[in-house]
């Protein structure tokens, strides 16, 4: 293994945009750099890379990363920025990153630059991936950075309650599952250079354009599910937000612009931030051509060092706790969590509205910065997750859970008048998290993925306690779950939000694209909130086929424009950004035969879709995981095909088995008592609705399914049909236990 002489002077400022080693997506340039003469040589794998070579790479890597950040700020300073409330800006959710996220991202850029420099010094004898495994073998790390020291977490002795940021759940690895952890991988990443460069086809040419894949394979067809309600889609998005949040890079001065104004074209390279991976739109696009749009803004996800700060390929950061722990309600960091509390009676902050019995979410202070408001009186909410205002139905579900927390806190306080605010908050939080876990594992997973499959993957609900917590299982979110498999559920989104008055004598449809980042539909009248709840359980969700609503493929976050973004093109581009291994790799990981030619896909993918794939991709190995997985036939009883089913099951297995605080874990110091657990296991989506709305008095028992002869509506006060979680099991005789 050889290293070329030090000669980094070519990295002058004006060459920067192209040569920036953390981008390096120009394959030709890389090829050139690999050809550099004068090599340092290592004869055996075991011989360490000379420490001065490593130190120099790290030092220069740091300089390069800092210069790239400076350049990003300068570009914004020169007016290459985003307009407030434009589709591209709304996609950032927030124009700044919390300081710890910023620090981790900066350190990871240093590591990636150093890795790249080290690779550039090597002889051409190694492929990108063998270089990475060589490096792993060598165990080269960045040791001195403050961030790398801070990963080591100190835990106080066994706590009955979860921490807010997810640390200390696993006693051996207290950093597992924390907010800010790197996503975990189950396959070798697909980066063109093995490190961070956007992947290319096996031939070395570009992979197919994501927008073209979206229009050809995921076109709009208004087919609804026959059984599942829109609440099923909404719960899915909510638990997604509990488990995963990858955020995009920003500069110190705000969101990153990759397109010329109004999407007229991709910015020329001298103005392009090295985090830009815009999606170009072909001239003949069926929709955007009418709006002169040739470029959709898209920016790379924040990366983070591995926990040991080793040099190697990029890892993206999960900015929320990976546990299913109600983090969208309570927040994933202490500062926000504290801001959300009312500090009295264990309650969360809420606002009251005239003529409404129950509360609403508190308001953000900078409404116009994060919402797309028509009037200053429009609501814009604050919650534990910045995606809260994305759609009115997401905000509705957040509100139901906020009300549930406060309802539970009030009951506990009545039962135990001497409990402090802190105790009430923690106990109510623990109960609400248990309800969320129960509804997800008992009700949501089975209707979506089938009972058989849950048994097969050992995640079926048990009658009372489970005893299968494993401290060896990392509960971190698998990168391909968040950046591909679970996104397939975007196909469940319907064109409209339905509302129903209490008389049920009418149904109103509101186009989704008219309501992004503006939850005012929840508050137009004192009945509006309940009208949305009635509508969402009456409306069928979209069918789980690869056809997606134009509301998300042409009009996502459109605000006042006539066009928006394309969520499916984004899903495909995000998979590439994260270096998600190809569909063929995942077939093998999930126990299918690796396909040698397109026709080998025939067992899983219908023939017309194979033909379309063959037309669009050069080689069967090039197929993106999101695309291949989405085109598979459903496994019986599930909304997913085999490959996505396997990834999603693996995730929900880890989320349960790797969570020491999972609600039905028995025989642990923090476990619920027998009587308490029996009550928690009565929780259901239907009961959550009944207990937290003013005027929804009839709900079908299975609220993730629409009403039918086999799933009729019952009165909310019919406690046999819709059981009630009785909290008297939490009454304690003294303040000491």
Q: Which stretch binds ligand HEM (CB under 6 A): 10-18, 236-244, 691-699, 719-727?
A: 236-244
Of Ca ion, ligand HEM, none, which one sits near residue 236, judging by CB under 5 to 8 A according to partner kind? ligand HEM
- Give the pair of three-digit tokens for residue 649: 């099951």
Of Ca ion, ligand HEM, none, which one sits near residue 399, judging by CB under 5 to 8 A according to partner kind? none
Q: Least CB distance from residue 240 to Ca ion, whole Å?
A: 10
CB-CB neighbours of 44 under 10 Å: 6
111, 309 contact by CB (below 8 A): yes
The answer to whether 237 contacts ligand HEM (rule: CB under 6 A) is yes
214, 568 contact by CB (below 8 A): yes
Site string for ligand HEM, 543-572 (x = CB under 6 A): ---------x--------------x--x--
**Which chain residues interact with Ca ion by CB under 5 A?**
242, 321, 325, 327
The dihedral of CA 7, 9, 14, 20: what is its sign? positive
Residue choice 240, 559, 655, 700 for contact with ligand HEM (CB under 6 A): 240
Strand partners, 565: 556
Please choose, from the candidates 694, 602, 167, 623, the residue with its C-alpha nearest in 3D space to the C-alpha of residue 400: 694
Per DSSP, 621 falls in state G
CB-CB neighbours of 736 under 10 Å: 6
Of Ca ion, ligand HEM, none, which one sits near residue 238, judging by CB under 5 to 8 A according to partner kind? none
Residue owning tokens 């997401």: 394
Q: Residue 149: enclosing H or E segment and its boundaries?
A: helix 146-150
Q: At what angle do helices 210-217 and 607-616 cross, to 10 degrees?
A: 160
Of Ca ion, ligand HEM, none, which one sits near residue 492, judging by CB under 5 to 8 A according to partner kind? ligand HEM
Q: Which is nearer to ligand HEM, 563 or 730 (CB)?
A: 563
Q: Which is nearer to Ca ion, 72 or 331 (CB)?
A: 331
Q: DSSP 3-state assignment of 122?
A: strand
Dihedral pair phi/psi, residue 244, rounded to 5°: -135, 135
Which residue in the list 91, 241, 313, 642 is annotated as catalytic?
241
Q: Which is nearer to ligand HEM, 572 or 635 (CB)?
A: 572
Residue choice 487, 642, 660, 713 for contact with ligand HEM (CB under 6 A): 487
Alpha-carbon distances of 703 from 234, 305, 713, rounded to whole Å = 11, 42, 9
Q: At what angle do helices 128-138 and 99-120 cross, to 10 degrees?
A: 110
Residue choice 218, 419, 425, 486 for contact with ligand HEM (CB under 6 A): 486
Q: Which is nearer to Ca ion, 25 or 246 (CB)?
A: 246
- Give the pair of three-digit tokens for residue 283: 């001239």
Residue owning tokens 């050889």: 2
Q: Least CB distance from residue 482 to ligand HEM, whole Å?
A: 4
Q: Which is nearer to ligand HEM, 163 or 389 (CB)?
A: 389
The answer to whether 245 contacts ligand HEM (rule: CB under 6 A) is yes
User: Residue count at the site for ligand HEM (CB under 6 A)?
Assistant: 21
Q: Which stretch binds ligand HEM (CB under 6 A): 29-37, 63-71, 173-181, 485-493?
A: 485-493
Q: Which stretch binds ligand HEM (CB under 6 A): 249-257, 480-488, 521-529, 689-697?
A: 480-488
Of Ca ion, ligand HEM, none, which one sits near residue 294, judging by CB under 5 to 8 A according to partner kind? none
Residue choice 23, 24, 181, 244 for contact with ligand HEM (CB under 6 A): 244
Q: Which is nearer to ligand HEM, 492 or 635 (CB)?
A: 492
CB-CB neighbours of 460 under 10 Å: 15
How far apart CA 387 and CA 367 sit, in angstroms, is: 13
Q: Which is nearer to ligand HEM, 91 or 660 (CB)?
A: 91
Residue choice 236, 346, 359, 546 for contact with ligand HEM (CB under 6 A): 236
The answer to whether 496 contacts ligand HEM (rule: CB under 6 A) is no
Q: Which stretch binds ligand HEM (CB under 6 A): 24-32, 235-243, 273-281, 454-462?
A: 235-243
How far apart CA 334 and CA 417 sit, in angstroms, is: 26
Dihedral pair phi/psi, residue 509, rounded to 5°: -110, 135
Alpha-carbon distances of 730 from 6, 95, 342, 431, 671, rounded to whole Å = 68, 43, 22, 10, 13
3-state helix, strand, coil in the chain (%, to 5): 40, 10, 50
Residue choice 116, 358, 398, 574 for contact with ligand HEM (CB under 6 A): 574
The answer to whether 478 contacts ligand HEM (rule: CB under 6 A) is no
Strand-strand pairing, 317-318 and 181-182: antiparallel
3, 48 contact by CB (below 8 A): no
How far apart CA 339 and CA 330 sit, in angstroms, is: 10
Dihedral pair phi/psi, residue 196, rounded to 5°: -160, -10
The answer to whether 266 contacts ligand HEM (rule: CB under 6 A) is no
Site string for ligand HEM, 368-407 (x = CB under 6 A): ----------------------xx----------------
Q: Give the end-to-end CA distance of the chain in Å, rounded to a whole number.
A: 64
Q: Least CB distance from residue 229 to Ca ion, whole Å?
A: 24
The C-alpha angle with vertex 580 and arms to 146 and 201, in degrees rounded to 5, equals 125
How far apart CA 269 and CA 612 sit, in angstroms, is: 33
Alpha-carbon distances of 222 from 448, 508, 552, 729, rounded to whole Å = 20, 17, 13, 48
Strand partners, 715: 698
Q: Which is nearer to ligand HEM, 91 or 141 (CB)?
A: 91
241 carries an active-site annotation: yes
Residue owning tokens 């060092």: 305
Q: Least CB distance from residue 434 to ligand HEM, whole Å?
A: 21
CB-CB neighbours of 503 under 10 Å: 6
Residue choice 492, 536, 630, 648 for contact with ligand HEM (CB under 6 A): 492
User: What beta strand segments (E) does 87-201 contain?
Assistant: 181-182
The answer to whether 469 contacts ligand HEM (rule: CB under 6 A) is no
Name the closest residue to ligand HEM (Cβ).
236
Q: Least CB distance from residue 336 to Ca ion, whole Å?
A: 13
Q: Least CB distance from residue 143 to ligand HEM, whole Å?
A: 30
Q: Which is nearer to ligand HEM, 230 or 466 (CB)?
A: 230
Q: Which is nearer to ligand HEM, 408 or 570 (CB)?
A: 570
Residue choice 482, 546, 579, 658 for contact with ligand HEM (CB under 6 A): 482
The answer to whether 489 contacts ligand HEM (rule: CB under 6 A) is yes
In the complex, the residues that contact ligand HEM under the rule CB under 6 A are 91, 233, 236-237, 240, 244-246, 390-391, 482, 486-487, 489-490, 492-493, 552, 567, 570, 574
**What residues act catalytically?**
241
């Amino acid at each position: 293994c050889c290293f070329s002489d030090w000669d980094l002077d070519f990295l002058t400022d004006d060459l920067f945009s192209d040569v920036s080693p953390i981008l390096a997506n120009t394959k030709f340039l890389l090829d050139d750099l690999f050809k550099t003469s004068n090599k340092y040589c290592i004869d055996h794998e075991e011989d360490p890379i000379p420490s001065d070579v490593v130190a120099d790479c790290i030092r220069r890597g740091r300089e390069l990363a800092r210069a790239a950040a400076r350049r990003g700020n300068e570009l914004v300073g020169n007016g290459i920025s985003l307009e407030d409330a434009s589709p591209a800006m709304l996609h950032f959710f927030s124009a700044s990153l919390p300081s710890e996220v910023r620090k981790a991202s900066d350190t990871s850029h240093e590591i990636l630059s150093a890795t790249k420099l080290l690779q550039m010094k090597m002889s051409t004898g190694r492929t990108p991936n063998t270089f990475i495994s060589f490096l792993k073998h060598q165990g080269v790390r960045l040791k001195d950075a403050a961030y790398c020291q801070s990963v080591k977490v100190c835990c106080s002795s066994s706590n009955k309650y979860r921490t807010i940021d997810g640390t200390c759940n696993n006693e051996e690895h207290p950093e597992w599952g924390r907010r800010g952890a790197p996503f975990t991988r189950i396959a070798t990443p697909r980066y063109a250079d093995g490190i961070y460069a956007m992947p290319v086809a096996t031939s070395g040419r570009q992979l197919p354009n994501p927008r073209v894949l979206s229009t050809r394979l995921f076109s709009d067809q208004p087919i609804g599910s026959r059984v599942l309600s829109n609440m099923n889609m909404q719960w899915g998005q909510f638990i997604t937000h509990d488990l995963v949040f990858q955020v995009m890079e920003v500069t110190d001065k705000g969101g990153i612009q990759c397109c010329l104004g109004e999407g007229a074209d991709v910015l020329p390279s001298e103005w392009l931030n090295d985090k830009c991976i815009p999606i170009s739109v072909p001239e003949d696009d069926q929709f955007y051509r009418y709006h002169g749009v040739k470029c959709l803004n898209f920016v790379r996800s924040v990366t983070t060092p591995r926990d040991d700060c080793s040099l190697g390929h990029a890892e993206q950061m999960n900015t929320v706790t990976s546990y299913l722990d109600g983090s969208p309600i309570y927040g994933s960091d202490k500062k926000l969590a504290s801001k959300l509390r009312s500090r009295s009676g264990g309650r969360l902050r809420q606002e009251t509205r005239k003529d409404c019995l129950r509360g609403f979410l508190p308001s953000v202070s900078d409404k116009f910065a994060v919402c797309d408001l028509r009037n200053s009186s429009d609501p814009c909410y604050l919650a534990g997750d910045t995606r809260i205002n994305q759609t009115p139905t997401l905000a509705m579900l957040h509100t139901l859970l906020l009300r549930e927390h406060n309802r539970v806190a009030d009951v506990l306080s009545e039962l135990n008048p001497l409990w402090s605010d802190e105790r009430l908050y923690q106990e109510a939080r623990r109960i609400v998290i248990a309800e969320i876990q129960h509804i997800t594992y008992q009700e949501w997973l089975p209707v979506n993925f089938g009972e058989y499959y849950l048994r097969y993957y050992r995640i079926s609900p048990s009658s009372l306690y489970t005893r299968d917590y494993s401290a060896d299982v990392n509960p971190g979110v698998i990168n391909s779950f968040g950046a591909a498999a679970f996104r397939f559920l975007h196909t469940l989104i319907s064109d409209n939000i339905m509302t129903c008055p209490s008389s049920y004598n009418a149904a109103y449809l509101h186009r989704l694209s008219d309501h992004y980042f503006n939850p005012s539909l929840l508050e137009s009248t004192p009945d509006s909130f309940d009208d949305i709840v009635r509508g969402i359980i009456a409306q069928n969700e979209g069918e789980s086929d690869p056809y997606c609503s134009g509301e998300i493929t042409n009009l996502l976050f459109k605000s006042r424009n006539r066009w928006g973004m394309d969520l499916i093109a984004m899903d495909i581009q995000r998979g590439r950004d994260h270096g998600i291994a190809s569909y063929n790799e995942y077939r093998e990981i999930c126990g299918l035969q690796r396909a040698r030619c397109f026709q080998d896909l025939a067992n899983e993918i219908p023939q017309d879709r194979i033909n379309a794939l063959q037309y669009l991709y050069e080689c069967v190995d090039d197929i993106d995981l999101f695309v291949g997985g989405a085109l598979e036939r459903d496994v019986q009883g599930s909304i997913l095909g085999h490959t996505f089913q396997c990834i999603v099951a693996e995730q929900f297995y880890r989320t349960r088995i790797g969570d020491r605080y999972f609600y039905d874990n028995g025989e642990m110091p923090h476990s619920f008592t027998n009587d308490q657990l029996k009550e928690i296991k009565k929780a259901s989506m239907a009961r959550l609705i009944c207990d937290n709305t003013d005027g929804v008095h009839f709900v079908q028992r299975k609220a993730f399914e629409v009403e039918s002869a086999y799933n009729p509506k019952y009165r909310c006060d019919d406690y046999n049909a819709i059981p009630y979680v009785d909290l008297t099991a939490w009454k304690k005789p003294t303040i000491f236990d």
